[in-house]
Amino acid sequence: VDLPFGLLPRHTMACTGAPTSDAGADGRGASDEAALADLREFVDRQMAALKASLDSSLNAFDVRLARLERTVAAAGGSSVGDLVRIEGLDNVAHLHLNGKKAKLRSWEGPGGRWLVQVLQTGHMKSLKVENFKSVGGAS
């Protein structure tokens, strides 16, 4: 943090080490006390700004963490590489996939679907969590 020039501490001792004429018993003068008060005020303002920034960052982190937790929950506890058995597809064009094993390749997030690779054919298919069941393990 850059300090404003006027807030830099002023020395009240001459080069010889003797107190200047406006210095008190402790070697500090009235102008130094004012400068010290200004410096303390400046530091307090900077600390308050830093705290506000940190609080904002922590709140944003909490929001992202909650979103990630919801995404993981929506993924059905599955993870990339898990082996699954496709089931529950009722579209005539996809009935042939029921009972086939597949490997989870990636979570598609907002749509609540997994991209799976059918092991028998190598074809990729996007499936809802309710359209597959874990068969255990990853390969």
pTM: 0.50
Q: What is residue 98's three-state secondary structure?
A: coil
The phi and psi torsions of 77 (rounded to 5 degrees) equal 75, 10
Q: What is the pLDDT of residue 11?
A: 46
Convert the pLDDT of each residue in 46-102 to its tens digit: 999 999 999 999 999 999 888 877 777 777 778 899 999 999 999 999 999 999 999
Own/partner contacts of 3-7, CB < 8 Å, gap of 24 or more, are: 3/39, 3/42, 4/42, 6/35, 6/38, 7/35, 7/38, 7/39, 7/42
